[in-house]
């Protein structure tokens, strides 16, 4: 069994928290793990947000039990969470699963360029709060016979597809970042940064990244790896 040795207890706790949040939205969630050297990237897709969430973690040492250079596997998020030992700062990699379609479509490794115009963190969090409040107000005002899934989804799409300030980043990416704990403040949080590469946008924070295709994840011109 492959064992990942995380850099410290904090890295293990953050990984467990990320997996727990993904499982909150999808109890059968899968994650794709990619690692090289002492860097681990965990990719997940919370279904209601139509984005990719990326949590990076530092490893104390590459691997044991036969993995020499790299790791690239899709596994059950629940099984991975169960294997995390925070006190030992380790996680055992579960057996591979048949990955969902998104697991074969990842953002490019390079070519990222900074995009100006992203508001300050407090304003980003306020944008999410205002969007959530608007959704609740508009859906709450619907007559009972109009409270259908189609109507609720239409309101949600209209609100969450709006863009942030003068950027092309959809508000749903902020909502995902907030829901997954990536937009929290605190010491060392720093300023979120927006990058673009091809058709992809990536919101990077100290706690993780949210990547979204401007044309949607199902569009052409994807990076399949």
Averaged pLDDT for residues 2-11: 92
* 75 backbone dihedrals φ, ψ, rounded to 5°: -135, 170
Residues 109-163 have pLDDT tens digits of 889 999 999 999 999 999 999 999 999 999 999 999 999 999 999 999 999 999 9
Question: Does the pLDDT value for residue 224 go beyond 80?
Answer: no
Q: Where do the structural domains in the chain lie, given as residue ranges?
A: 3-104, 113-213
Who contacts 142 (Cβ-Cβ below 8 Å, separation ≥6)? 151
pTM of the model: 0.88
Residues 55-106 have pLDDT tens digits of 999 998 765 544 556 789 999 999 999 999 999 999 999 999 998 999 988 9
Alpha-carbon distance of 104 to 48, in angstroms, equals 19
pLDDT for the residue 223 = 36
pLDDT for the residue 37 = 81
Level-2 CATH architecture, domain 3-104: Roll (3.10)
Question: Does the pLDDT value for residue 209 go beyond 90?
Answer: yes
Averaged pLDDT for residues 31-46: 92
Residues 163-200 have pLDDT tens digits of 999 999 999 999 999 999 999 876 666 889 999 999 99
Averaged pLDDT for residues 1-6: 87
Strand partners, 209: 54, 204
């Amino acid at each position: 069994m492959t064992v990942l040795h995380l850099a410290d207890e904090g890295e293990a706790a953050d990984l467990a928290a990320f997996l727990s949040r993904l499982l909150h939205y999808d109890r059968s969630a899968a994650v794709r793990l990619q690692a090289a050297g002492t860097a681990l990237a965990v990719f997940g897709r919370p279904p209601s947000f139509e984005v990719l969430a990326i949590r990076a973690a530092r490893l104390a040492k590459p691997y044991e039990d036969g993995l020499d250079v790299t790791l690239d596997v899709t596994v059950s998020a629940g099984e991975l969470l169960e294997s995390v030992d925070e006190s030992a700062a380790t996680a055992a990699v579960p057996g591979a699963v048949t990955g969902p379609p998104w697991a074969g479509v990842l953002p490019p490794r390079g070519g990222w360029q900074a995009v100006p115009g992203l508001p300050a963190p407090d304003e980003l969090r306020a944008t999410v709060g205002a969007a959530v409040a608007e959704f609740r107000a508009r859906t709450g005002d619907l007559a009972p016979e109009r409270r259908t899934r189609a109507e609720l989804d239409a309101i949600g799409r209209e609100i969450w597809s709006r863009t942030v300030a003068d950027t092309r980043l959809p508000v749903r990416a902020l909502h995902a970042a907030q829901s997954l704990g990536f937009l929290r403040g605190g010491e060392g949080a720093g300023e979120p940064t927006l990058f673009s590469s091809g058709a992809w946008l990536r919101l990077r924070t100290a706690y993780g990244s949210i990547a979204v295709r401007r044309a949607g994840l199902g569009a052409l011109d994807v990076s399949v790896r």
